[in-house]
Chains A and B, each alone.
Chain A
C-alpha cells in the first residue's frame, strides 16, 4: 500500500468542508420538500362512514398508500361484512359453521372470546339474533314480543362458539355473530399497522373505530371530539389521542322505535343497556378499546375499574345518565 500523505491543513479543511456540506445539503433538501401534507380519504367500511388522514411530505406517496389500504379494506369486507351475503361471517351465520376460517376471522373470534370472558359476558359477539329481532320489530315501533325475545336470547351465548384454526362453529341452532363492532376495531388496527409498516408516522384512521398513528405532525396529540350523549349533534369534550385508539359506546346512534331501544343490548336480558349514557375507552389498540367500551357500557360503572385494570394503558370516560362524568 502506498504511504499515506500526512494530514495537511488543506486536507483537514477539505474534510471539514465535506463533513459540513452533507448536513447543509440535507437541510436544503428539507426546505425544498417542506412539511408533511395531509391526504384524506372518505368512504365506507363495514357499513360505517370511514375516514383516513395521512400526513406525508410527498402527497403522491400518501395517495398510493391510501389506494392500497382500500384494497385491504375491501378484502376485509369480504370477511366481516354482514351486508354481504357471501362474506365469511355471513356464511358462518347462515350455516352455523365455517371450515378453515381466514386468519382475520379467527383472530377476531379469539379476541372477542377473551373480552367476553373478561367481562363475564357483558360483551358478547353472538348478539346478532337480538339485533335482528329488534330490527324486524322496529318497523311497528313496538317492543318485541316477550316470547320471541326469550327465543332470541337463547341463541345468544358466547360460550357456545368453538373457534379454532380448523373451523369456527356455533353449538346451538339459530346462533349468529355480529362481532359487535369489534370487527371494525380489527380493521382499524390492521390498516393502522400496515400504514406504520409502510413508514407513515402521522395518521388518523377512523374505520368504525378511531386510532391515531403517532402524533399530529406538529408534535402535539390529535384531538378527537366526543359526541355529547345527551345532545348527540354536539360534541361535549375532546380527547387527546397519540398512538392510541378511542372507542365510544352510546345508545344514541341507531334506535329501534323509541329512544330507550338502541343497538347495544345486554346479552343477559336482551334489552338495550341504559345504565350509562356514554362510555369512551382509550386503549392502545382499537379492537381492545371497542370490546372494553361495549362491555363497560353494558356492565355499568361498577364493573369498569376491574375491566380496565386487566389491560395496560387503558382509561375510560364514563357519562352517567344524568350527564355527570367520571374519568377512570
Chain B
C-alpha cells in the first residue's frame, strides 16, 4: 500500500491537471460508441455481467471492452489490475505513464439505486481526482428498464461527469434531474461514482501514517451483514421463541406474555439483532448505506461516535414505535449500551434512521466518554404485559462487542535497525566463530595437559591455524585490521553511529574477544591464533622448516631495534590520520591483509608483489612482518603491557644455564636471560611443549633419569647430576 503511495506521489507532478481535450473526430466516435452501448443496455440489461448471483461480478478487466475503456478513460493504452488490498481498481496507463484508475461501483461499493439490486457503473479517475468518464454497465432500475429516451439521458448524464471532482456531492455537468423520471437512480449512480473514485484514489494516494492504534476510517469493501458478523465487525443475537421464553423466566416473568406476540413454533426466530461500532466505513457504510453514514461522519461534530444496530429478521425489532411517543419522552428504549461503569440510553433525536431497513446509528457525542477501542455491551430490551396492562421490561439479549483488530490500523513497527540484519542472517557464521572461540579458550585454559603431548599440540595448533586462515580469513573475511582499530579509536570524534560498527558481527565478536584476551593473557592470543595473515605466515614457516630452508634471525640486540618498526608504522598511521587522512589510507596499506586475505590476492600488481614479498621473507625469518612491521601487532603489543595473567611456565634454570626454550621459540620472544617478552610472544606454546618434555628439558630429564636409576638401584642416590650443564642441543 505504501509503495503504491510512493509511486503515485512520484507521478503526480508530471500528470496533467486538466482532463485531456479531445478533437471533434474523437468526440464523434465516442458519441457513437455511447449510443451503441446505450442500445445494448436497453436491449439486454444484465447481459453484460453475471449479476446478483452468488459468484459475484466477473473480473473488472473482463467487463471492460476497448470501447468502454475509451469512454471512461479516453487515451488509455493499457489497464493493469492493482494488486493490493484496497478497493478494486485497474491502473490506467498512457504509454508507460500511469495516469489514473478505472473502477466499477459494483466492485467498490455494491451500491443499490432505486431497486435493491446494485447497479454497475464503471468510471475512471485521474491521479489528481478528476472523473474521466462514467458508463453504466448494468442496472435493474425500474424506471429506466425498457425506456429508451430515459436510458439515453442517463448515459448522457453519466458522460457529463467527465472533468468533475471525485468528491461526494461535487457538481457535475448535468444535474440528476436531467434524467427526468429516474432522478433517484441517476443521483445514486452519480454518488457511487464520486464516492467510489474517492475511495479508489484515497487508498492509494493518501499516505496513512498512524503513530498509535487508530480506527480504520479509510478501507472499504462491500460487505453483507453476514460477512461482517463472520469477521467480528458486527455481533449478532438470534433469539428464538424458546430463547425469549427463557429470558422471561429468568426475569421472573415466565407466566406473562410478551408485548409483541410470538409467531410459529419454539424454534422460529423472534428477533435477529446485530450491533457494532458504526464509524469504520467497513461497518457503518455497509450497514446503513450512504446517507445515514455520511450524516454520522460529515454531518455531526468532529469526534462523534456511532453504534450501528439493526434487526435482520423476526417479528420483534429494536425500534418499536414508542420512541415516537411524547408520553415515553421519545425514548428509544429497546436498546442500551454499557461500557464499564457507564451506560448509555438514547432518545429519538440521538438516532440516525435508515430508510428501507431496520438499521440505525445510535449517536454518542465526542464527550460521552465512550471508548470505541474498549469492549462494550449492547442490550436489547423487551417487555412482558402484566394482567393489569402495565409493561414489565426485561433484557432480551445482551451482546458483548470488541472492535476486531482488523478494523484498527496499527502504527508501523519501528523497522529493525539495519545492523540487526547481518546478525540474523549471519547466525551460522556467528555460531561457527563462537564455537571456535570456545575451543580456543579451552586450548589456552588446558595448555598444561595439551603441551605435555607434543604431537597432539602440533595437530591442534596447525588445525586451528588452518581454520583461522581459511575460514576466518578467506571464507568469512573477518580479518581484524588496523583499519578497525583506527575506526574504534576515531569513533568518539566522528559521529559514526554505533550501528555502523555493529553491522559486522564477526568483527565485533573478534574485537571483543581480542580485547578481553589482551587484558588477560596478552597480545599473543589474537596474533598467535586469530589473525589470518599471521596464520598464513606461520603455516608457510612451518612448511619452510619442514623443507629445512635456512632460517635467519637477527641478534638479540638488533632484534630489539627491529621490534620498534611496528611501533613506528603504527605511529606514522596515527599521526597521518590526524593531519592527512588521505595519506593515512595509503599508509594503512603497509598491512597486506586486504590483499592477501579479504581480496584473496585479486588486486593491483604492486599490492600483490608486496604481499608475496612479505610471505617470502617469512619463509626465512618466521613472522618477520608480525615482529617488525605490523601496525596492528604494534598496537596490541603496546597494550600487552597491561595483561594480568602469565600462564607460560618457567623454571629457575630457564636462561641460566638452559637455553632450550629460547631456541625453540619460533619468533625469538625469549631473551637469553630466559625471560619471555610477552609483547612479542604469540602464545604458540612451543616453549611449553619443551618445558614439559622430560627428554628435552634438562632439569626434567635429570629428574627422570634419577627416577629411572632409583628404580634400577633404589639405594644409591648419586649427587653429581648438577654438572649436566647446557650441551644437549
Contact residues in A for B53 (Cβ distance below 8 Å): none
Contact residues in B for A56 (Cβ distance below 8 Å): 599
Cβ A102 vs Cβ B495 within 8 A: yes
Residue in chain A with minimal CB distance to B484: A198
CA distance A26 to B474 in the complex (A): 13
Within 8 A of A (CB), among B473-520: 477, 483, 487, 494-497, 499-500, 503-504
Instruction: From A12-20, A147-155, A173-181, give the one contacting chain B.
Output: A12-20
CA distance A120 to B602 in the complex (A): 48
CA distance A139 to B39 in the complex (A): 42
Q: Mark A228-256, 1 if CB is under 8 A from B, else 0.
A: 00000000000000000000000000110
Picked from B496, B504, B615, the residue with its CB within 8 Å of the CB of A22 is: B615
Residue in chain B with minimal CB distance to A141: B17
A29-B600, A72-B500 known; A18+B549 contact, CB < 8 A: yes
Check if A199 is an interface residue, CB within 8 A of chain B: yes
Q: Mark B605-621, 1 if CB is under 8 A from A, else 0.
A: 00010011001100100
Check if A197 is an interface residue, CB within 8 A of chain B: yes
Instruction: From A32-40, A126-134, A162-170, give the one contacting chain B.
Output: A32-40
Check if B558 is an interface residue, CB within 8 A of chain A: no
Cβ A61 vs Cβ B494 within 8 A: no
Check if A9 is an interface residue, CB within 8 A of chain B: no
Check if B49 is an interface residue, CB within 8 A of chain A: no
Cβ B549 vs Cβ A15 within 8 A: yes
CA distance A17 to B544 in the complex (A): 11
CA distance A75 to B611 in the complex (A): 36
Cβ A35 vs Cβ B499 within 8 A: no
Cβ B600 vs Cβ A58 within 8 A: yes
Within 8 A of B (CB), among A68-126: 68, 70-72, 74-75, 102-104
Contact residues in A for B503 (Cβ distance below 8 Å): 64, 67-68, 71
Check if B418 is an interface residue, CB within 8 A of chain A: yes
Cβ A74 vs Cβ B544 within 8 A: no
Interface residue total, chain A, C-beta cutoff 8 A = 43
Check if A310 is an interface residue, CB within 8 A of chain B: no
Cβ B602 vs Cβ A34 within 8 A: yes
Distance (Å) between the CB of B603 and the closest chain A CB? 7
CA distance A288 to B729 in the complex (A): 69
Check if A225 is an interface residue, CB within 8 A of chain B: no
CA distance A58 to B421 in the complex (A): 19
Contact residues in A for B608 (Cβ distance below 8 Å): 26
Cβ B601 vs Cβ A61 within 8 A: no
Within 8 A of B (CB), among A43-69: 56-58, 60-61, 64, 67-68
Cβ B585 vs Cβ A22 within 8 A: no
A18-B619, A29-B600, A75-B499 known; A196+B585 contact, CB < 8 A: yes
A58-B598, A71-B419, A75-B499 known; A18+B547 contact, CB < 8 A: yes
Contact residues in A for B549 (Cβ distance below 8 Å): 11, 14-15, 18
Cβ B500 vs Cβ A68 within 8 A: yes
Cβ A71 vs Cβ B418 within 8 A: yes
Check if B417 is an interface residue, CB within 8 A of chain A: yes
Cβ A57 vs Cβ B602 within 8 A: yes
Picked from A7, A22, A60, A68, the residue with its CB within 8 Å of the CB of B619 is: A22
Contact residues in A for B611 (Cβ distance below 8 Å): 26
Check if B247 is an interface residue, CB within 8 A of chain A: no
Contact residues in A for B616 (Cβ distance below 8 Å): 19, 22
A11-B548, A72-B496 known; A67+B418 contact, CB < 8 A: yes
Distance (Å) between the CB of A191 and the closest chain B CB? 11
Check if B341 is an interface residue, CB within 8 A of chain A: no
Q: Mark B135-162, 1 if CB is under 8 A from A, else 0.
A: 0000000000000000000000000000
Check if B369 is an interface residue, CB within 8 A of chain A: no
Q: Mark A137-159, 1 if CB is under 8 A from B, else 0.
A: 00001000000000000000000
Cβ A71 vs Cβ B600 within 8 A: no
CA distance A275 to B593 in the complex (A): 52
Contact residues in A for B602 (Cβ distance below 8 Å): 30, 33-36, 57
Distance (Å) between the CB of A185 and the closest chain B CB? 17
Contact residues in B for A15 (Cβ distance below 8 Å): 549-550
Cβ B500 vs Cβ A30 within 8 A: no
Residue in chain B with minimal CB distance to A72: B500
Residue in chain B with minimal CB distance to A198: B483
Most buried by A among B483, B550, B602, B619: B602
Cβ A71 vs Cβ B500 within 8 A: yes
Residue in chain A with minimal CB distance to B497: A75
Cβ A64 vs Cβ B422 within 8 A: yes
CA distance A35 to B494 in the complex (A): 34
Check if B265 is an interface residue, CB within 8 A of chain A: no
Contact residues in B for A33 (Cβ distance below 8 Å): 599-602
CA distance A14 to B483 in the complex (A): 37
Residue in chain B with minimal CB distance to A7: B550
Cβ B483 vs Cβ A103 within 8 A: no
Check if A2 is an interface residue, CB within 8 A of chain B: yes
Cβ B495 vs Cβ A70 within 8 A: no
Residue in chain B with minimal CB distance to A56: B599
Contact residues in A for B547 (Cβ distance below 8 Å): 14, 17-18
Distance (Å) between the CB of A34 and the closest chain B CB? 7
Contact residues in A for B615 (Cβ distance below 8 Å): 22
Contact residues in B for A26 (Cβ distance below 8 Å): 601, 608, 611-612
Contact residues in B for A103 (Cβ distance below 8 Å): 494-495
Contact residues in A for B422 (Cβ distance below 8 Å): 64, 67
Cβ B599 vs Cβ A199 within 8 A: yes
Residue in chain B with minimal CB distance to A196: B585
Check if A201 is an interface residue, CB within 8 A of chain B: yes
Q: Mark B590-601, 1 if CB is under 8 A from A, else 0.
A: 000010001111
CA distance A201 to B595 in the complex (A): 11
CA distance A122 to B455 in the complex (A): 77
Contact residues in A for B483 (Cβ distance below 8 Å): 197-199
Residue in chain B with minimal CB distance to A60: B477
Check if B463 is an interface residue, CB within 8 A of chain A: no
A67-B422, A71-B418 known; A11+B550 contact, CB < 8 A: yes
A57-B599, A64-B504, A141-B17 known; A74+B418 contact, CB < 8 A: yes
Contact residues in B for A71 (Cβ distance below 8 Å): 417-419, 497, 499-500, 503
Distance (Å) between the CB of A184 and the closest chain B CB? 18
Check if B13 is an interface residue, CB within 8 A of chain A: yes
Cβ B495 vs Cβ A201 within 8 A: no
Residue in chain B with minimal CB distance to A105: B495
CA distance A64 to B426 in the complex (A): 10
CA distance A57 to B607 in the complex (A): 15
Cβ A201 vs Cβ B601 within 8 A: no
Residue in chain B with minimal CB distance to A36: B602
CA distance A2 to B604 in the complex (A): 43
Cβ A4 vs Cβ B17 within 8 A: no
CA distance A199 to B482 in the complex (A): 12
Check if B218 is an interface residue, CB within 8 A of chain A: no
Q: List 15 A-B contacts (CB under 8 A).
A: A15-B550, A22-B619, A33-B600, A58-B598, A58-B600, A61-B598, A67-B419, A68-B419, A71-B417, A71-B503, A74-B418, A74-B497, A75-B495, A103-B494, A196-B585
Known A-B contacts: A72-B497, A141-B17. Give 12 more (CB < 8 A). A7-B550, A22-B619, A26-B608, A29-B601, A32-B600, A33-B599, A58-B599, A68-B504, A71-B418, A75-B499, A197-B487, A199-B483
A-to-B contact residues, CB < 8 Å: 2, 4, 7, 11, 14-15, 17-19, 22-23, 26, 29-30, 32-36, 56-58, 60-61, 64, 67-68, 70-72, 74-75, 102-104, 141, 196-199, 201, 254-255
User: 7 closest Cβ contacts across the A-B interface?
Assistant: A71-B499, A68-B503, A33-B600, A75-B497, A199-B594, A57-B602, A71-B418
B-to-A contact residues, CB < 8 Å: 13, 17, 417-419, 421-422, 477, 483, 487, 494-497, 499-500, 503-504, 540, 543-544, 547-550, 585, 594, 598-604, 608, 611-612, 615-616, 619, 729
